[in-house]
Amino acid sequence: MNIKHTLSEKVTEYLLNNEGKAKISSLEIIKDDVFISLLGNNTHGNQYIPDAINKGARYIITDRKLEDNFIFNKILVVDDILTFLLSTAKIKRNIFKGKVIGITGSVGKTTLKENLKYFISQTSTVSVSIKSYNNYLGVLISLININLSSSFAIFEIGTNNFEEIKNLTSIIMPSQAIITNILPTHLENFKNTRNIAIEKSDIFNPEYNPNIELLILSQNNTDETYISDLALKENISNIITFGKINNQNYRIEKIKKIDDKTFEVLIYNNTTTYKFEINKNQLSRINNILISLIIFVYNKLDITTFISSTKNVELVEGRGLERKIFINNKIINFIDETYNASPSTMRMCIDEFSNIKTMKNQKKILILGDMKELGEGALGFHLEILEYIITLDLNNVIVCGELMKSALNKLSKKDLKIELILNEKLIIKYLKNTLNNNDILLIKGSNSSLTNKISKILLKKGEN
């Protein structure tokens, strides 16, 4: 009897018949999970196998042989982990009978995924990729972890280089695809936004995705209209557009303030007007709610349920989520925007900060970090952001990071209200000395920038 082959079949069958079992971090392992032991930047996952077994892992998958004192009926040794995961993911995708939604775009993928999950879960069953699992490994894990009984499965499809979208799309094969936007991100490899548009368009290319039946497109710039033209050439059954450019299928007709926390939104789709209310903190993310409405209408889900749910959309961690934290024994209103940053989202964040109304003796502080992966034009993008802040005449603005420093050095120092602090300890000290009870702190920057580190320090030490 080939024990290795039998164990491989058992592990595969277990992953196919269960949801959410594959984990790549031993810290996340709970009873009956499957620990994927991968080579990390510094160590191999085999180092954490004893911990995973102690936590109750049912199986371990590794590509390195182990010492004799391990429990071999739990540990599957394969030649190549990614090959094993790909094979399992493809099987699970082939037997999944629900509708598959794929989301790509320059910004907003994770927030849209979480919003769609929230809305669809009000009326149906849905599986989604966790966190921002949108690269090759993340997509494989996400597919393996779906619930086969779900009516919908939603996946993010990310890229920072050429040909990644087609590779991920050919695995996920979404029947319904969404391109949130085309904006200047990951320009180190793509060089310009037209190349980004071409790369993103592979999500609906029938050569890689023969399942495509619905494409939802933003139409707010020439790169997005270029994608629309490409889609028309592919004869996709249903192309639904939204945006500021005229003659779109869906458009925001009106946004009316009801009170300090609530706004009424009217959306028109050629034949029908939809009216609903949203929380103030969703104004800058209104397109996510619009796209969710399109998905509801197309899939004939209950619109009444959708409309009754729009006021309760929650913010996503690192993407505008508001928390009460303690800084120096003072309660501070912390708005965390530190997951990522691009020129467009940075400007939206600055507008949000500018529009925050403060009470008597309440102040607000804005901390901005570097925007990464913007290529040769990175300095120019940062300079534009600083110049925009100056036009708004904002107070209490701190910037950090080498790109922000270089951009700041190009500005006239006369009457400049923007302060540069390059060390996280000095920034924390500044906050301790400056903030008082009920003050507002908003932090924005790329995931790999100093701002993300500052956010983690604040949340770890002082979350209420």
Give the mean pLDDT per block of 10 residues along the chain (464 residues). 72 97 96 96 92 96 81 89 98 98 96 97 95 90 97 96 97 98 95 98 98 97 97 95 90 94 95 96 94 98 98 91 93 95 96 94 97 96 96 95 96 84 95 96 95 93 55
Phi, psi of 180 (to 5 degrees): -65, -40
Q: What is the DSSP string of 148-189?
A: TT-SEEEEE---SSTTHHHHHHHHH--SEEEE----S-SHHH
Ordered domains of the chain (ranges, CATH): 3-79 (3.40.1390.10), 86-312 (3.40.1190.10), 321-462 (3.90.190.20)
74, amino acid identity:
K
Long-range CB contacts (< 8 A, 24+ apart) of 50-57? 51/26, 52/26, 55/26, 55/29, 55/30, 55/31, 56/29, 56/30, 56/31, 56/32, 57/29, 57/32, 57/33
- The neighbouring-strand residues paired with 82 are none
Structure tokens, 62: 């590794």
Dihedral Cα 391, 392, 397, 401, nearest 10 deg: -50
Residues 6+ apart with CB under 8 A from 40: none
Structure tokens, 262: 């609530």
Structure tokens, 401: 């990071």
Distance CA 8, CA 5 (A): 5
Structure tokens, 431: 């906050």
Q: How many other C-beta atoms can be found within 10 angstroms of the C-beta atom of residue 312?
A: 10
Structure tokens, 406: 């270089």
Please return the burial class of 279, using the count of CB atoms within 10 Å of its CB with bins 0-12, 13-18 and 19+. middle
pLDDT of residue 180: 98
Distance CA 193, CA 186 (A): 9
Residues 6+ apart with CB under 8 A from 119: 292, 295, 296, 306, 309, 313
Distance CA 140, CA 85 (A): 6
Distance CA 11, CA 183 (A): 42
Task: Report the length, in residues, of the chain.
Answer: 464
Please return the burial class of 83, using the count of CB atoms within 10 Å of its CB with bins 0-12, 13-18 and 19+. exposed
Distance CA 227, CA 231 (A): 6
Distance CA 131, CA 179 (A): 19
Please return the burial class of 246, using the count of CB atoms within 10 Å of its CB with bins 0-12, 13-18 and 19+. exposed
Is 449 in contact with 401 (CB distance < 8 Å)?
yes
pTM of the model: 0.93
CA 408 distance to own-chain centroid:
29
Q: How many other C-beta atoms can be found within 10 angstroms of the C-beta atom of residue 323?
A: 16
Distance CA 164, CA 143 (A): 17
